Structure 1
């Protein structure tokens, strides 16, 4: 039987669902008081002190460098989980919300991950469809010259990935986000080697700025880069929607049904294709 570890990234103490696969990991533990019963991400080989700019990637890096004898590995956030219980994943919005109370009252269950990962190579969230290309979407919400620095580094260090970067980012409006996945260790290892090789070079050339949003630059870039990695390696992807428990301020109107999600994707695709001509 394969060993499965799904680490849950959290920067604070919260009540988490219980499952034998789950490993709570404290993000940015080097910068804060340790959380009891969480694995700190500042033990062993780590980049914990970079958490303000690398976000959940400090947990990702810790797991990559320190977990041993794991066959299947995944990343969850403390407020984002794969919703394997959704009755029709292919006819769904990318995420839906629930209350923390309701979420924790229902036992979290996994399907047979071994069987799924025989048919597929990786489990990812459902992709979003933007009205613009993924490159333009980054330009609109972040800093364009940083993105072009990323492009230059990929061209210099791993030019074999450039065609996948251009096809998924420049010529597509469809992209998975959230830095979440479940996959075989071999793909996790290969992805991590490539990802951090690229991001550490970006860090050298583009230091983070003092801005509450743009300072998280390397986390934002990695959300896009997992798409590039999957296309380059021709990975078979199983898309699963996310369930997001909210502690307060939740209202059912925040959720959209499957039909609404399909209509929104279609409208966004039409806008995207019209803009190209």
Structure 2
């Protein structure tokens, strides 16, 4: 099985040694390229590299969908990778044999779900980002993909999700997911104005896709397996938890969340 796991990066960073399995991809290559970065660029062939400030690592996904030939395609990040657990080191990430074993169990590998406990997926999103894009996403799904609407509402009610836009999929599933995902996101893009968003909030389509993965999985009853992941460097878990609580209660005091 020919497997390619893209490692999305916007700068030079230590990469996995197995170049036959792991493919470093410079996202937003047109703007981020610096002499000496020997990564696959996301601005060759059919691409949306210039959309990187708004689509994040999805520009690598789009490039792979249109240009990469493999039996299975995955996406991880330069600091966040699939692993069997243990030390947070590059030597401890999944190898080809382990990925093949996982793909024998199911055609899709996802990171273990992130649990929010005190938040639904919808409230977690709107406490961190402008809510209009997520509401418009629901409108697009209701109009263009009504079969997915029940799955969307169910996912928004849940308090856990497969996050980070990380996955490994067999080519059939990867193509199906990419076709649906980008059709939805491009339609949302046509309907919202993000010109006044901050640099962080302008990364909106990458944030939306994190919520849409489970929608696609559930609507199509796709079988998947979960795998552990590691993050290289400091994770700052306590700071993230405090920011989550801060966003929740400060925003709740300013407005009432009426959806989901």
The TM-score with structure 2 as length reference comes to 0.84
* Higher RCO structure (Cα 8 Å, ≥6 apart): 1
Does the alignment pair 1:46 with 2:47?
yes
- Determine the structure 2 residue equivalent to 1:275: none
Q: Out of 103, 107, 111, which is 1:121 matched to?
A: 107
Deviation at 1:107, TM superposition (A): 6.0
- Structure 1 segment 1-277 matched on structure 2, within 5 A: 2-19=1-18, 20-34=20-34, 36-68=37-69, 70-84=70-84, 86=85, 98=88, 103-104=89-90, 106=91, 108-110=93-95, 111-130=97-116, 131-169=118-156, 171-208=157-194, 209-246=196-233, 250=234
For structure 1, list consecutive stretches of 5 or more residues without a partner in the other structure: 88-96, 256-277
For structure 2, list consecutive stretches of 5 or more residues without a partner in the other structure: 239-260
Deviation at 1:108, TM superposition (A): 4.1
- Describe the superposition over 1:54-84 as per-residue Cα deviations: whole angstroms up to 9, x where unpaired: 000001100110012x111100100000012
- Determine the structure 2 residue equivalent to 1:263: none
Deviation at 1:174, TM superposition (A): 1.5
SS in 2 for 1:178: coil
Structure 1 residues 5 and 141, CA gap change in structure 2 (3 angstroms): same
SS in 1 for 2:150: helix
Q: CA RMSD for the aligned pairs?
A: 1.9
- Determine the structure 2 residue equivalent to 1:260: none
Moved more, 56-65 or 25-34: 25-34
**8 A Cα contact 1:18 1:108, kept in partner:** no
Deviation at 1:202, TM superposition (A): 0.9
- Describe the superposition over 1:66-105 as per-residue Cα deviations: whole angstroms up to 9, x where unpaired: 012x111100100000012x27xxxxxxxxx84xxxx24x
CA distance in 2, matches of 1:178, 1:206: 23
Deviation at 1:7, TM superposition (A): 0.7
Structure 1 residues 125 and 107, CA gap change in structure 2 (3 angstroms): closer
**8 A Cα contact 1:46 1:58, kept in partner:** yes
CA distance in 2, matches of 1:205, 1:109: 40
What is the count of residue pairs matched by the alignment?
A: 233
SS in 1 for 2:12: coil
SS in 1 for 2:186: helix
CA distance in 2, matches of 1:183, 1:121: 6
Structure 1 residues 33 and 116, CA gap change in structure 2 (3 angstroms): closer
Structure 1 residues 48 and 37, CA gap change in structure 2 (3 angstroms): same
The TM-score with structure 1 as length reference comes to 0.79
**8 A Cα contact 1:17 1:107, kept in partner:** no
Moved more, 140-149 or 5-14: 140-149
CA distance in 2, matches of 1:33, 1:46: 15
